[in-house]
């Protein structure tokens, strides 16, 4: 570093410390009291990084914690099956007399009610022939079927969610006799029941078909499990109740009783138009 002639009045001459020896233009921090030397910028940057990392970590931890909290929905459900009174589409109690006069094996509209949870729809069916005569090969229908109630043991209810990949009604629908040129050889499934059965539950998503006259057992895959069946009960005045469910869990539920809130003490039938697709796996 070069020197220059400083006149007597020059402040540098009066200074008690030697002139600073770093190049002109370079900034240095100098302690005003105890001289602690130059600040170590590397240490300072590391400390800054640690502080920022701490903040990010704390914020990230909070976010992760919050995300985990909301990624795990609370388990909603009930501990036992409710006794739920079924209500007709017009709001009146659903009785055996009303069902046997208004619904039969040839009813083409779907009648859906939810049970036991608010996201578990079910078909409501009466499989007895419309003419009131016992079912036969020439008079399609069924009576005294598994789980059936009413005068002929022909009133049943099954989950309206397919056991294959979970297509719900109306993609899965009840097909009354004459809907498609299709019958299934079900064998004798009960007194006065035709072995060549032209009525069934069919899922238009991939073709699974179920036999409502035999506990909604599989007629065709790809589903391999039957539809869960709602247990029906009739009180002395003829009013119909849903009181339980048998078979596998409703598709999409680890347990039929878990996954939503209870329907409560009553559940009303709703009318839906079916989705019909006369295409069946070979
Ligand atoms: S979801 Fe019904 S057959 Fe696939």
Atom of ligand 1 nearest to the CA of 207: 3
Q: Is there a contact between 155 and 125 (Cβ–Cβ < 8 Å)? A: yes
Atom of ligand 1 nearest to the CA of 223: 3
* CA 216/CA 223 separation, integer angstroms: 11
Residue 51 has pLDDT above 70, yes or no: no
Whole-number percent of the chain with pLDDT over 90: 65
Residue 34 has pLDDT above 80, yes or no: no
Residue 281: band (very low, low, confident or very high) from pLDDT cuts 50, 70, 90: confident
Residue range 153-168, pLDDT digits in tens: 999 999 999 999 999 9
Ligand 1: centre distance to CA 163 (Å): 7
Atom of ligand 1 nearest to the CA of 208: 3
Indicate if ligand 1 lies below 6 Å from the C-beta of 213: no
Indicate if ligand 1 lies below 6 Å from the C-beta of 169: no
Residue range 57-106, pLDDT digits in tens: 444 444 454 555 556 667 799 999 999 999 999 999 999 999 999 999 99
**Domain at 84-272: CATH code:** 2.102.10.10
Indicate if ligand 1 lies below 6 Å from the C-beta of 179: no
* CA 156/CA 239 separation, integer angstroms: 14
Residue range 255-277, pLDDT digits in tens: 999 999 999 999 999 999 999 99
Atom of ligand 1 nearest to the CA of 162: 2
Mutational pocket test of ligand 1: of 169, 174, 219, 223, the residue with most ligand atoms within 8 Å of the beta carbon: 223
Atom of ligand 1 nearest to the CA of 171: 2
| Atom 3 of ligand 1, nearest CA residue | 206
| Atom 1 of ligand 1, nearest CA residue | 165
Ligand 1: centre distance to CA 122 (Å): 16
Indicate if ligand 1 lies below 6 Å from the C-beta of 211: no
pLDDT of res. 194: 67
Query: Cβ neighbours of residue 94 under 8 Å, at least 6 residues apart?
Result: 85, 86, 87, 88, 239, 240, 269
Residue 10 has pLDDT above 80, yes or no: no
Residue 279 has pLDDT above 90, yes or no: no
Mutational pocket test of ligand 1: of 175, 206, 277, the residue with most ligand atoms within 8 Å of the beta carbon: 206
Ligand 1: centre distance to CA 276 (Å): 14
> In the predicted model, what is the mean pLDDT of the chain?
82
């Amino acid at each position: 570093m070069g020197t220059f002639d400083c006149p007597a009045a020059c402040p540098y001459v009066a200074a008690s410390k030697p002139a600073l020896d770093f190049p002109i233009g370079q900034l240095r921090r100098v302690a005003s009291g105890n001289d602690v030397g130059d600040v170590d910028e590397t240490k300072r940057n590391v400390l800054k990084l640690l502080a920022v990392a701490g903040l990010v970590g704390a914020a990230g931890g909070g976010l992760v914690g919050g995300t985990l909290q909301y990624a795990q929905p609370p388990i909603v459900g009930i501990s036992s099956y409710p006794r739920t009174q079924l209500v007709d589409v017009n709001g009146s109690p659903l009785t055996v007399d009303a069902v046997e006069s208004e619904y039969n094996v040839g009813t083409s509209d779907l009648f859906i009610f939810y049970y036991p949870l608010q996201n578990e729809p079910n078909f409501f069916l009466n499989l007895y022939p419309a003419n009131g005569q016992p079912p036969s090969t020439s008079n399609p229908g069924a009576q005294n079927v598994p789980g059936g109630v009413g005068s002929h043991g022909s009133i049943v209810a099954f989950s309206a969610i397919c056991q294959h990949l979970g297509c719900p009604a109306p993609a899965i629908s009840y097909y009354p006799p004459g809907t498609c040129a299709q019958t299934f050889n079900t064998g004798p499934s009960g007194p006065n029941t035709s072995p060549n059965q032209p009525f069934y539950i069919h899922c238009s998503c991939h073709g699974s078909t179920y036999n409502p006259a035999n506990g909604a057992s599989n007629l065709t895959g790809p589903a391999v499990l039957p539809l869960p069946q709602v247990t029906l009960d009739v009180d002395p005045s003829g009013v119909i109740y849903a009181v339980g469910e048998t078979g596998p869990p409703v598709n999409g539920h680890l347990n039929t009783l878990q996954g939503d809130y209870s329907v409560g003490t009553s559940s009303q039938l709703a009318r839906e138009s079916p989705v019909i697709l006369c295409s069946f796996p070979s």
